[in-house]
Structure 1
């Protein structure tokens, strides 16, 4: 492989998942690129050359020299990124990004858009399940005034090729659930699960994205300033090469995403933005803390109750609290602060976060013990009620200090 400058991998953007108003290095917004199409990949070695060839053929005819294809690969073990990079001499509109510190389709799309130079941003799967010819219909709808154009399986000309009854049921069930939880977003389109669309840069510029799983369209509509939406029908194809990425985990992430969007874009989210407080994270932190309450209470009972070990209250509480701290760290690292921990992989980074979390929570444990004893000895002569009050006070302390110390975006490479 040659080492020409045109073959150098794109630098992976860092920091918040936010699209700039103007492309990188173009403060006036007078770039010549119309469309930037991102192709997120993971283990698509057998498909990547074919899709690049097909897309290039279509776009060279429709908008010659006025587009770019951006492959964003999550460090595939089959070296998809390397295969894509080797294609650059033959396809000068192709650019390649290799992500080694982050994972996930939605964030891959946004990172690709952050490096893009086009005024229209798009996404298409790298497995040829999205028919490339529909791309020109979407582009035409954007040119005629739409802020967002998506390919839908549920309008004229749309459908699925050979899905099982169970998969059809899950897909429709997910859509109905979304309409219940987030009607203002999912009610605007017929296929909110689509991962094949285009959007004007201006419609999402400045909005901080916070995606979960695969469904980036929810994030775009929910957080962007999207006016007119247009749709074009397409038939979802079965893949011919590679392996499917759809598992039960994607459905769980979809539900998490709906709830997160509901909280962050609703009244609580507006209040949170006004007071500059991460309310969504605090709610998740609180739910994790609630699970820790059961752990704490169970261990406290086993150690302090006269029918079990009968240890004194203070010693029992310290041990119970430390066990709960370990439980809470695992959940917070995997869920509450996943946006940071996913970018700080490895045991060394995780141990570092746990050490900080433990120090902060041990200080919180001191506060907890003091409040417990004060409430128990002077206010409520019930160790469990006193413990609940103490936990509530310590939770506020733990969240705020851990937010500023243990999971810091500035630690991201």
Structure 2
């Protein structure tokens, strides 16, 4: 029985396949890991299959799966999951953009209790080399969308990750495009994740397979995972959506508190005329922010026990600052839409409120209530 299976999806990788197999096998031997190397090829028209077949004669732990239909990187990895011999899978690109040297560390994190271990380009210590600006922008956009579903994962679209077999057992994966990790996170059964920084190196040989079709497929994938999370109520994405709903309910309660306090101060105190009513408004706003913080801290994010910031006063101050930013965004959008574009004031206010809500939830999720 192998300790782990390294899955390498390939298509026209004759220039890189010898090197990546050699490097992975060297890592196995140097780390005393009993590992399987599984190359999953999309029926490459070049010499990729022939090279792997030749290498199999001297590497007993090397296996080859040739796919003749439903081509695609994610589909290849999914088929690799079903054919792998071990209970732990590591997915790595064939183009040498991912460092095989991190495989033992990934496996160690799995052994230590992680369900998914992700090689991250965007956490501290990670990075990307030799990418043009256009590709960086596309990657950041894809990462942003992915983090709306999994805000605590810095690189949910990474192609370099390890996962327990049990995470995807029975999962209704619908692989498409290149972002198989997002599918695993969205539909797999996992609780504990770990990220390891690495520097992504763009391929030296061969050409990138990123196309417009890939971007469209990714958008479809995000939509599919969102729908899946609503239907099944068990995925990690659904746990995040529940927080969004709770955050929204708390926000509505804050509006009620705001209006109630404002009404009381204006009608029953001396703060009933301009400019005194400005103070009444400020008091009402701050009390509503306090209301929202308390409920979010005790209810919305109650499950975040392993918080990075354990001091509640620190979280409260941070929440205030983020909420102020949301208010400025709301007001700014209202001003632009009404003064510049002539949009009906209630519609402009609604749009500003929605954008402010997205800001408040996203930033607070990643700053105020972020895990360690």
TM-score when normalising by structure 1: 0.55
Which of residues 113, 136, 155 is equivalent to 2:123? 155
CA separation in 1, counterparts of 2:23 and 2:200? 17
1:210 equivalent to 2:155? Answer no
Map of 1:48 onto structure 2: 17
Map of 2:2 onto structure 1: 33
Closer, same or farther: CA 172–103 of 1 in aligned 2, 3 Å? same
CA separation in 2, counterparts of 1:143 and 1:227? 14
CA separation in 2, counterparts of 1:234 and 1:109? 21
CA separation in 2, counterparts of 1:173 and 1:115? 33
Residues 347-394 of structure 1 show CA distances to partners (whole Å, capped at 9, x for unaligned) of xxxxxxxxxxxxxxxxxxxxxxxxxxxxxxxxxxxxxxxxxxxxxxxx
Map of 2:54 onto structure 1: 86
Map of 1:165 onto structure 2: 133
Contact 2:6 2:37 survives alignment (8 Å): yes
Map of 1:226 onto structure 2: 190
CA separation in 2, counterparts of 1:254 and 1:63? 38
CA separation in 1, counterparts of 2:36 and 2:152? 29
Alignment of 1:174-323 (within 5 A): 174-180=142-148, 183=149, 186-266=150-230, 268=231
Unaligned runs of 5+ in 2: 235-372
Alignment of 1:64-83 (within 5 A): 64=33, 66-83=34-51
Map of 1:361 onto structure 2: none
Which of residues 9, 26, 35 is equivalent to 1:57? 26
Say which SS state the counterpart of residue 46 (structure 1) adopts.
Answer: coil
CA separation in 2, counterparts of 1:188 and 1:81? 39
CA separation in 2, counterparts of 1:55 and 1:270? 38
Report how far residue 270 of structure 1 moved.
Answer: 5.7
CA separation in 1, counterparts of 2:39 and 2:71? 14
Report how far residue 34 of structure 1 moved.
Answer: 1.2
Contact 2:78 2:175 survives alignment (8 Å): no
Report how far residue 134 of structure 1 moved.
Answer: 1.6
Contact 1:81 1:97 survives alignment (8 Å): no
Unaligned runs of 5+ in 1: 1-31, 272-413
Map of 1:406 onto structure 2: none
Which of residues 73, 76, 80 is equivalent to 1:105? 73
Map of 1:366 onto structure 2: none
TM-score when normalising by structure 2: 0.61
Map of 1:371 onto structure 2: none
Residues 116-137 of structure 1 show CA distances to partners (whole Å, capped at 9, x for unaligned) of 1101012100010111112122
Say which SS state the counterpart of residue 91 (structure 1) adopts.
Answer: coil
CA separation in 2, counterparts of 1:177 and 1:114? 28
CA separation in 2, counterparts of 1:208 and 1:190? 24
RMSD: 1.6
Contact 2:98 2:160 survives alignment (8 Å): yes
